[in-house]
Structures are given as structure tokens and as C-alpha cells.
Amino acid sequence: SGLITLDPGFKNTGSTKSAITFLDGEKGILRYRGYNIEDLAAKSNFLEVSYLLIYGELPTQEQYDQFKQEITYHTLVHEDIKKMLDGFPSVAHPMGVLSSLICSLTAFYPTSLDPNRTEEEIKMSIVRLMAKMPTFAAWAYKNKMGHPVNYPDNKLDYCSNFLHMMFALPSEQYEVDPVIAKALDQLLILHADHEQNCSTSTVRIVGSSQASIYASISAGINALWGPLHGGANQSVIEMLEAIKADGGDTKRYLDKAKDKNDPFRLMGFGHRVYKNFDPRAKIIKKAADDVLNKLGVNDPVLDIAKELEEAALNDQYFVDRKLYPNVDFYSGIIYRALGIPTDMFTVMFALGRLPGWIAQWKEMRENNEPIGRPRQVYTGANERSYTSMNDR
């Protein structure tokens, strides 16, 4: 079988060639299709960035209008999906609900299962995913709250419609705060793609077996859920709250993070690829300040975060290991200010990452990539004979 190179965690293994996202971890550069993340975050919007990631170029006005119109038109979901939602207990984590509802689209659109799916079918799957994911995400929250769901309002833009489905109450007039909608849009842009991370590799590898795009994206959502990946944004806030409740002694927690006998890690710190700084974290830190100022929110957890960052950046342990705040260190603070509850944070990440997953799935397919199938080095027992139950 030839010589097998072991690389646990694929720290140094390229799984594909890709033309979507460029990342230089040493210099802290992130570009989607050649455009710097700083530029896109300041000047573009999430739907335009989604189009760019999926189709490779910034859309013309006409292409943008059509993309937006189609996505807006498909925001409604089959009523039977609501029955599935009703079956989940209210303690269900919204990430599990989201991945289940996304996977259920295979049942409602079975043509997506055909390996010889047409280009039109693929285009429609992309539209449906982009359109229905905010509906599912908001409904997962409503299920948790035990509240009736809100149906999409197609007069609203992508982020405002999501906020409406999350927060509008039947008895009150709900006006989306443009500051909140804009902040959300920017956060989604920053999360939209990040080359071959755990969830994206999952989407590509599931897709490489020619499974449905809905099943592939659902698998990506599950991969994102873990606390070392997208789930970190929830863990960061839980950690900051715990430090605050514990008297705000950041130094003690820093020591815990450095102690190799203590499983505690400083959540929101460190990154597999960024070894200088995470450019998304820079933008988010500033956005957190701006948003909290504009909304007039004073969050003591932000002070703890800043103190912790400052202490870690000046600590030899973190300096030696090139550990810097990552995208998730400050994102939760903004989500909190926008009124989004902690266990919805990773769902917000998934909403943002969706166009990246779609683009990567599409690229994998267009490149005719072979099925993903890593090898192993076997370390188990040598050949031995079966013993019957009585002889064991």
C-alpha cells in the first residue's frame, strides 16, 4: 500500500486546490476571491459577498437584483417542516435543530439526491439554502422560547428579515434598528468563508461522496457546533461571564489556561493558521466598541475581555505560542448587544458561513474531486483466533 504519511489534524496537508479564499496566517491577510476582508466588511453587504464567493465575481446590478429577488422569494418553508420543529423539546440546542431542518430539505426536494443533478437544480438548491436558513435559524430560537414562529417578511432585506423573524411579537409593532441590521450584516461577512477549516472540509468530504448538497451543509453545521470551532463564540461569553461572576480575577484564569494539568483553555484565543493576528478579530473589536456605543450599551463583560486580551498579549506563554484573539473573542459581545441569546451565537456563525460552504461544495463538484478518503497507520492487535464466549 506504499508509505503513508501521518499528519493528525491535517496540520500540514493540503486537501484541495481552491480559488475561493486566500489566507496568509503569518501576515494576517484574508481575502475572498482576491478582495481584502477589510474592504468587503466596510463597503459591501452580505448578499453581495455571498454572490462573490459562490460565483467568483462581484455581481453587476442586474445579477445582484436577480440573486436577491430569488432568495427573497424562497424564504418561506413547507408547513410540514414546522411540524418537525414542533417535535423538538424546547431544551434542544438550536444548532441541532438547524442541522436537522437543513437535512430535512433532502426529503422536500428529493431531486437534490440525484448525482446527475442539473445545473438548474444546483442553482435552485443554492437559492433555497440561502433563503431558508435564516427562517430555520429564527424558528430554532422560537422553539427554544416556546413562542409562535414568525413568517418571513419579504419586504425586508436579508438581515432585517432575520431580526424580524427572531424578535417581532404579534402584539407589538417591531421596527428593525438599522444599527443592529448593519452590525449583523458585517458579522456575517466576516464569517462568510475561511478556506479548509473543520466544517468546510466536512462539507467538501461529504459532498465528495455525491451526497445531496443539503446533507453536506447539514454535516458542516454539525462540525461547526463544537467548542474548538464555531462553538467557541458561545464558550467565550460563558467564560467571560464565569470570570465576572468569580470576581473578575483575569490573572487567575490566565494561569489556569497556562497550566497543562488544567483542561481550561482561553476560549477565543489561538488559531490553527493565524500566528500573528486574526484580521477579522481586529475589525470585530472595533465594531464591538462602535455598536455598544451606538446602542448605548455598557457591558462589563467587554471590559473583562479587554483586560484578558491585554494580559495575554503580554504574557510569555501566549507570546511563545503565537496565540492571539480570534474572530470569536469579540463576536459574542456584539451578538449580546444585538439581543441574540448565547446559545444562538454558533447559529449566527452558521448563517454567515453558509455561502462559503456552498462555494466550496460547488468548487469541489466542478473540479470533479475524488471521494475524500484518508488513510491510517494501524496500531491494533495482530491476527488472533476467535474465542467462544465461555472461554473468555
Residues that bind ligand CMC (CB under 6 A): 9, 194, 197, 228-230, 232, 257, 265-272, 321, 323, 326-328
CA distances from 145 to 63, 77, 91 (A): 38, 20, 9
- Annotated active-site residue 328? The verdict is yes
Shortest separation between residue 228's beta carbon and ligand CMC, angstroms = 4
Sheet holding 21-24, edge to edge: 21-24, 29-32, 35-36
Tell me the closest approach of the beta carbon of residue 321 to ligand CMC, in angstroms.
4
- 214 and 125 in contact (C-beta within 8 Å)? yes
Q: How far apart are CA 389 and CA 392, in angstroms?
A: 6
DSSP letters for 134-186: HHHHHHHHHHHHTPPPPPP-TTS-HHHHHHHHHH--TTS-----HHHHHHHHH
Min dist. Cβ of residue 331 to ligand CMC (A): 9
Q: Which residue is nearest to ligand CMC (CB)?
A: 270
List the catalytic residue out of 74, 93, 271, 278: 271
| Residue with smaller CB distance to ligand CMC, 214 or 269 | 269
Beta carbon of residue 3, minimum distance to ligand CMC (angstroms, whole number): 25
Q: How far is the CB of 276 from ligand CMC (least distance, A)?
A: 14
Within a 10 A sphere around the Cβ of 198, how many other Cβ atoms?
17
Is the CB of 230 or the CB of 356 nearer to ligand CMC? Answer: 230
Long-range contacts of 8-15 (CB under 8 A, 24+ apart): 9/272, 10/201, 11/272, 14/196, 15/196, 15/201, 15/204, 15/372
- Rounded distance, CA 280 to CA 285, Å? 9
Nearer to ligand CMC (CB atom), residue 152 or residue 230: 230
**Measured from the CB atom, is 169 or 242 closer to ligand CMC?**
242
CA distance 51 to 64: 8
CA pair distance 220, 43, nearest whole angstrom: 28
Task: Give the residue with the Cβ less far from ligand CMC, 53 or 181.
Answer: 53
- Quote the CA–CA distance of 104 and 110 in Å, as a whole number: 10
Nearest-5° Cα angle at 175, 172 to 178: 160
Radius of gyration of the chain from its Cα atoms, rounded to whole angstroms = 22
Strand partners, 24: 29
Measured distance CA(98)–CA(129) in Å, rounded: 12
Of 20 and 71, the one with the shorter C-beta distance to ligand CMC is: 20
Catalytic residue among 185, 193, 278, 328: 328
Whole-number minimum distance, CB 268 to ligand CMC, in Å?
Answer: 5
Which candidate, 118, 126, 102, 121, places its Cα nearest to that of 53?
A: 126
Strands 21-24 and 29-32: antiparallel
Is residue 78 among the annotated active site residues? no
User: At its nearest, how many Å lie between ligand CMC and the CB of residue 291?
Assistant: 20
Question: In the complex with ligand CMC, which residue's Cβ is closer, 244 or 322?
Answer: 322
Based on DSSP, count helices (H) and strands (E) in the chain, helices before strands: 17, 3
Catalytic residues: 271, 328
